Amino acid sequence: MPLAGNPAAGLTTGRIVKLRFVKLMGVLWLAGVAMRMTILAVPPVVPLIHDDLRMSETQVGLLIGLPLSMFALAAVPGSLLIARTGPRLAVAAGMVIAALAGAARGAAVDIATLYAAAIATGFGVAVMQPALPTLVREWLPSRIALGTIAYTSGMLMGSFFPPLLTIPLVLPLAHGSWRLNLILWAVPALLIAPAFLLLSPKAERPASAAAALQLWWPDFKNPAVWLLGLTLGSNNSPYFVTSAFLGDYLGSKGEANLLGPALSWLNGAQLVALTILFAVSGRLQQRAWPFLVFGPLLLAGFLILMLTSSGYAILAASALIGLATAMTFTPLMTLVPVLSTAPDLPRTAAGMFTIGYTCAIVIPTICGALWDLTGKPWTAFVPVCLCAVALTALGVVITGYRPHSETLLGR
């Protein structure tokens, strides 16, 4: 405690508080990077894997979808691990599992072993996901929005680095080997784990930790879990559908040459969103405006994509989709700590991810089925147009939602 009349002591204390805040933001950012980097190292080398292992298109789709399915299936075991070890150790364990399993994909001898490694990689990431909102609440209880921006921006950068750097930089270092490429991407992901443990505070388990051991299975009777999960599904399904179908869709329109630029705009717009999110961080938490503004913009992006053949319009549509999904994802994630008590938070997050990523598996499947059944490529985007409408409506509902306990207390 600084002494009265000693401004130097107060300045020192303030500087320590600021340095601690910056350090925690950096730690959360690193965790976000690790949570996506190993997963996104695969898409740039899919053609090489396809040729080497003689995979069918269906098998390639399964390779991409298996980690995503684990995000849904392993979220609940991740909640149990958090309850038993605490969120800090759970995040570190998830990092190590994802990095080692990501490297193991490079040692696959056939499709089955490649799938096994992909499943293990997804499991590691799934363990981390419900733990990070818990850490934000523990470390930055008065700055939940900024803490959430820190790790979600790390996730966006972890998604951006591999597509950006693999072909021009990492693959040449790997002498064109997709196997060595995956190992090289696993190295920084693995190094983040000790850095995370070294820089993160070693908080004692609170008294509520004992209660948390009994609260690891999601309460699927809780409306907040379903509202959060369905809103997440309405947010992430459009991004995954766009990434999955854009190449074939542009090819059907005779615009296959636009795939690279369109993907760059899709992901580059998310980086623009980060700047906006930091600028408005004080007006994100429990505010409906991101959903009211960017939900309709998401719908507009898909309508432009479906109704025009102009190259410039397609690039603009891709940018709108990337911007809108990023601008609604972070405000949604800030709600998880707000709508949960401390012991409930990991299982609420686990329930949300289970529902949200189940939607992200089911909806792209429906999109592909519509294309196959009708023979009309544009129909693949009809379900995600409905997602954009649902995102707007659910976003308004969830930002105004108050748990029953808060209502009784007059909060």
More reliable by pLDDT, 170 or 207 = 170
Give the tens place of pLDDT for each residue, 354-405: 999 888 888 888 888 888 888 898 998 999 999 999 999 999 999 988 765 5
What is the value of pTM for the model shown? 0.78
Mean pLDDT of 162-169: 84
Q: Give the residue-averaged pLDDT of 130-135.
A: 90
Q: What is the mean pLDDT of residues 282-296?
A: 90
pLDDT in tens, 260-287: 788 788 888 988 998 898 888 888 878 8
Confidence of residue 205 (pLDDT cuts 50, 70, 90): low
| Three-state DSSP class for residue 38 | coil
Find the mean pLDDT for residues 288-305.
Answer: 96
Using alpha carbons only, give the angle 148, 149, 150 rounded to the nearest 5 degrees.
Answer: 90
Q: Answer yes or no: is pLDDT of 69 > 50.
A: yes
pLDDT of residue 61: 64
CA–CA distances in Å: residue 302 to residues 18, 258, 313, 317, 320: 42, 16, 11, 7, 9
Least confident of 40-54, 110-124, 195-209: 195-209
219-403 homologous superfamily: MFS general substrate transporter like domains (1.20.1250.20)
Band (pLDDT 50/70/90 cuts) for residue 245 is: confident
Q: What is the pLDDT of residue 95?
A: 96
pLDDT at 404: 53
Higher pLDDT among residues 249 and 411, named by residue: 249
Q: Is residue 117 packed enough to be buried (19+ CB in 10 Å), middle (13-18) or exposed (0-12)?
A: buried
Straight-line distance from the first to the last Cα atom of the chain, in angstroms, rounded to the nearest whole number: 33
The chain-wide mean pLDDT, for the chain, equals 86
Q: What is the pLDDT of residues 72-98, one digit of tens each?
A: 888 888 888 887 888 999 999 999 999
- CA-CA distance, 229 to 351, in Å (whole number)? 7
Residue 301 CA to residue 299 CA, distance in Å, equals 5
Matching CATH topology for 14-199 and 219-403? Answer: yes
The structure tokens listed for 392 are 């707007």
Superfamily of domain 14-199: MFS general substrate transporter like domains (1.20.1250.20)
At residue 210, does pLDDT exceed 60? Answer: no
CB 208 within 8 A of CB 337: no
pLDDT in tens, 223-242: 999 999 999 999 999 988 88
Question: How do the domains of the chain map onto residue ranges?
Answer: 14-199, 219-403
Quote the pLDDT of residue 106. Answer: 94
The whole-number pLDDT of residue 11 equals 54
User: Is it the case that residue 10 has pLDDT exceeding 60?
Assistant: no
